């Protein structure tokens, strides 16, 4: 799935609805606090990207994106709850693949950042209270 400026909101809604439906069968839904840790790093990338002139990300930004990917993998690995809700979230939201697709595109990075914001918003709206 390729994120676009036209589909990232509907995709985020679809992902969170699917996760919520599956949570009843397989365990808990990921908490907003777990997602917010990832979102904090994404927000920093977004703020830096907005100040870049042109559409190409430099080596430092590409390195920061790779560090974000590493952090996401770490968060998934440290969650030992039944059904591993963080790993489920990362897989259903296709985060690692989407991060790989960013490459050096500022525009795609910004779309990814908006997607993460939409995931958090829909988790709060659809997912209900954190357990």
pTM for the whole thing? 0.90
Please say whether the beta carbons of 1 and 12 come within 8 A. no
Query: Residue holding tokens 């790989």?
Result: 100
| In the chain, where the domains are located | 8-127
Please say whether the beta carbons of 99 and 68 come within 8 A. yes
Model confidence pLDDT, tens digit, residues 12-30: 999 999 988 877 665 678 8
Model confidence pLDDT, tens digit, residues 52-104: 999 999 999 999 999 999 999 998 887 766 668 888 899 999 999 999 999 99
């Amino acid at each position: 799935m390729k994120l676009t400026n036209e589909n990232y909101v509907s995709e985020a809604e679809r992902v969170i609805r699917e996760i919520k439906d599956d949570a009843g069968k397989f365990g808990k839904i990921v908490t907003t606090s777990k997602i917010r840790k990832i979102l904090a790093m994404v927000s920093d990338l977004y703020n830096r990207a907005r100040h870049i002139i042109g559409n190409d990300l430099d080596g430092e930004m590409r390195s920061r994106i790779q560090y974000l990917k590493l952090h996401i993998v770490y968060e998934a690995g440290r969650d030992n709850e039944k059904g591993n809700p963080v790993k489920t979230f990362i897989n259903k939201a296709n985060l690692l693949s989407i991060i790989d697709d960013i490459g050096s595109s500022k525009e795609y990075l910004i779309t990814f950042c908006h997607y993460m914001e939409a995931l958090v918003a829909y988790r709060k709206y659809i997912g209900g209270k954190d357990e």
